[in-house]
Structure 1
Amino acid sequence: MTEQILSEAEYDAITQAAAQWCMRLHEPDCSDAERLAFQQWHDADPVHAFEYAAMCEIWEVADHLPASALTQPPAPARPAPRRTWQRYGVAAAITLCALPLAAYSGWELGWLPSSYERFEAGDSLRTVVLADGSQVELNLGSALVYSNYKDQRRVTLKKGEAFFKVSHDSEHPFVVKAASGQVKVTGTQFNVWMYQDQVRVTLLQGSVLVSSNTAQPGEGFRLEPGMQANYKAGDYAPQINQTYSNDSSLAWRNGKLVLDNLALSDALPLINRYLDLPAQVADSHTGQIRVGGIYNTRDIKSLLSSLPKVLPVYLTRNRDGNPVINSLPQFPPKS
């Protein structure tokens, strides 16, 4: 984002506009003309784009609010400090414009966070410390949002993979939302990998509760150290497995991707996490071909291009430009 020197009034005007556009674009009767006007406003200044992106994330955070909060009259409560809300992506604006509740009242009811932070890792690994003191290691191309609520600390893994060392607080659980499920802890060490709607949770220390569908009743399935849970969208319950001493789930922390004699269909989600254009297999027969090896996570494109050198496959591209892995035709030996 281009650095600009804005007065407080100018910044407030932009954040208010971003909040109003965010609300309007979510309305079903938003017209094409309004959408065009928004695009012109959005593209007019990088600050507009930055604040609108922040506002959309605040909108997602507020999306869990009970329906009654959208119609309840304003509570006569003291508002949260202005500077605190501005620091975290103008949550005050979304509170005042989208919800008829003061920010302080929303915090007291456990509906709105007191702080909000976004972290992202690009082409290198990144370690961050959250406001509660928890430490998070982010894999390449990963992003998450941290929000502090009165009754819980909440992380939403937007994409990628993260390793968590959670500060213990039995009165303030730590919840990681990933795809359709979540991981709930009070203090522990664990890894969460996500690709599209697939999630894998690996526990190192402590214990966690894993839910594959937060819409289902119950707190989830408990993992103990050395256990792993896998789920995807639509699963009623996660699949629980035991991990072993040679488990390679955390090799990414050393910049490595380890494929331990996996079928291509199972290896591709691990590979595609690092590719701009995900690869596909041409058919189920190709998906059964097995691949192994240790690869540099910063150079996964080379892994893909090297497959024809080590496997009976060749590469093509589909109409969208995605790489397609095809198996070489097998002919019976001549008699």
Structure 2
Amino acid sequence: MNQHDTIGHTVDLDLVAASWQVRRQDGLTAQEEAQFQAWLALDATHRQAYARMEGVWSGLGELHPTAVAQLARAVPARKKPASGLLRLATAALAVCVSGAGWLGWDHYQRQPIFHESFASARGELLDVHLPDGSVMKLDTATRVEVTLYRQRREVRLPEGQVMFSVRHDSQKPFEVLTDTLRVTVVGTRFAVRNTHAGFGQAGEAVTVEDGRVRVATAGSASAVELTAGESVQANRAGALGTVDTRLAHGALLWREGRINFDGTPLAQAVAEFERYGDTRLVIKDPIVAAMRVNGSFDARLAADFGSALPLVLPVRLREQGGVTEIVAAGKPAK
């Protein structure tokens, strides 16, 4: 038997195994089960063929729709069975045996064409240009993992804040994954925040400057769509809040190295400064911590922020032990 005959024999045997696999999925009578067992026992190659079929069948449900179409076209017309499932199974086998099976195709599609991790230091803003033409601006103390595939683009944001300018490509959706959120876009400018201090202590946030994005929480089929000027927050449990349609200019000032406060609790404001560097500012009094602060400040000048507080709030600064405590103005010195 030459090589061509061997390949043809293997394909025919696999088609028989495919037929048994589909029939067993539908349920066999006692007589049919006996026939199947007899077929298995007839030759070791029968058992091997059926084992191959089981392996293909177990992964068939994960096949990409494009591959399904390719496989459906791969079976010669004379070998197309009546059952749609059987046709797909035999197509998979026929292509597998010929060396271009869906397993290889699926593995090929799953392989990244680019993978890199990026991180900004505390107090640093970092611009990253991706091979697809997209640009990321990393805020202070931010970590991202970028993976580009042939059919999609993915960024994981375990910590920090990033402004994305996504290169439009309708064939390759761009996704950003945080602890609880999945943000999907094609081409737009938007920011995603996932921090546990400062503004982000209450949860994660997505802000859209241009275009449209889809925001969903992990494990949920529900999602919201944001357009330019809109934002949404999710609490630490992953529940999405209402869409805010009044995006203030100050929400994205961090790209210029500035922090904007708009009725922000003082403790949260100090924590936001701490993301950029040591402030040496401490608050022990919960009444002081809850005081609201407004204004735009240079993220690198925490000392100036502290010095300005007594001018805008009923507080004073008390130096002790190498730190500066912010206390109520009427509180006696110790």
Query: TM-score under structure 2 normalisation?
Result: 0.57
Tell me the CA shift for residue 325 of structure 1.
4.5
Tell me the CA shift for residue 105 of structure 1.
6.8
Q: Which amino acid aligns with 1:155?
A: V
Tell me the CA shift for residue 147 of structure 1.
0.6
Q: In structure 1, what is the equivalent of residue 220 of structure 2? A: 216
Tell me the CA shift for residue 311 of structure 1.
2.7
- Cα distance in 2 for residues equivalent to 1:277 and 1:105: 54
- Cα distance in 2 for residues equivalent to 1:129 and 1:180: 26
Contact 1:107–1:114 (Cα < 8 Å) also in 2: no
- Cα distance in 1 for residues equivalent to 2:195 and 2:282: 14
| Aligned pairs (5 A) from 1:33-44 | none
Query: TM-score under structure 1 normalisation?
Result: 0.57
Tell me the CA shift for residue 304 of structure 1.
3.9
Q: Does 1:207 align with 2:212?
A: yes
Q: In structure 1, what is the equivalent of residue 328 of structure 2? A: 327
Contact 1:166–1:188 (Cα < 8 Å) also in 2: yes
Q: In structure 2, what is the equivalent of residue 21 of structure 1? A: none
Secondary structure of residue in 2 paired with 1:239: coil
Q: In structure 2, what is the equivalent of residue 233 of structure 1? A: 236
Q: Which amino acid aligns with 1:273?
A: R
- Cα distance in 1 for residues equivalent to 2:331 and 2:291: 13
Secondary structure of residue in 2 paired with 1:286: helix
Q: In structure 1, what is the equivalent of residue 287 of structure 2? A: 285
Q: In structure 2, what is the equivalent of residue 169 of structure 1? A: 169
Contact 1:210–1:238 (Cα < 8 Å) also in 2: no
Alpha-carbon spacing, 1:242–1:287, altered in 2? closer, same or farther (3 Å): farther
Q: Which amino acid aligns with 2:237?
A: G
User: How many residues are treated as equivalent by the alignment?
Assistant: 227
Q: Deviations 1:52-89 (Å, cap 9, x if unpaired)?
A: xxxxxxxxxxxxxxxx9xx99xxxxxxxxxxxxxxxxx
Tell me the CA shift for residue 189 of structure 1.
0.8
Q: Deviations 1:11-50 (Å, cap 9, x if unpaired)?
A: xxxxxxxxxxxxxxxxxxxxxxxxxxxxxxxxxxxxxxxx
- Cα distance in 2 for residues equivalent to 1:209 and 1:315: 45
Q: In structure 2, what is the equivalent of residue 312 of structure 1? A: 314
- Cα distance in 1 for residues equivalent to 2:290 and 2:271: 14
| Aligned pairs (5 A) from 1:193-204 | 193-196=193-196, 198-204=203-209
Tell me the CA shift for residue 279 of structure 1.
6.6
Tell me the CA shift for residue 263 of structure 1.
2.8
Query: Which structure is richer in relative contact order (CA contacts within 8 A, separation 6 or more)?
Result: 2
Secondary structure of residue in 2 paired with 1:241: coil
Secondary structure of residue in 1 paired with 2:300: helix
Alpha-carbon spacing, 1:206–1:116, altered in 2? closer, same or farther (3 Å): same
- Structure (1 or 2) with the greater helix fraction: 2
Find 1:273's aligned residue among 272, 275, 299: 275
Secondary structure of residue in 1 paired with 2:243: strand
Tell me the CA shift for residue 316 of structure 1.
7.6
Q: Structure 2: 5+ residue runs without aligned partners?
A: 1-54, 60-102
Tell me the CA shift for residue 207 of structure 1.
0.6
Secondary structure of residue in 1 paired with 2:251: coil
Alpha-carbon spacing, 1:223–1:318, altered in 2? closer, same or farther (3 Å): farther
Tell me the CA shift for residue 153 of structure 1.
0.6
The percent of aligned pairs where both chains have the same amino acid is 27
Q: Deviations 1:187-223 (Å, cap 9, x if unpaired)?
A: 1111123322622211111111112x312234x2111
| Aligned pairs (5 A) from 1:1-335 | 107-108=107-108, 110=110, 112-122=111-121, 123-196=123-196, 198-211=203-216, 213-218=217-222, 220-244=223-247, 246-275=248-277, 281-282=283-284, 284-304=286-306, 306-308=308-310, 310-313=312-315, 325-329=326-330
Tell me the CA shift for residue 175 of structure 1.
0.7
RMSD across aligned positions (CA):
3.6
- Cα distance in 1 for residues equivalent to 2:273 and 2:181: 22
Contact 2:208–2:227 (Cα < 8 Å) also in 1: yes
Contact 2:218–2:238 (Cα < 8 Å) also in 1: no
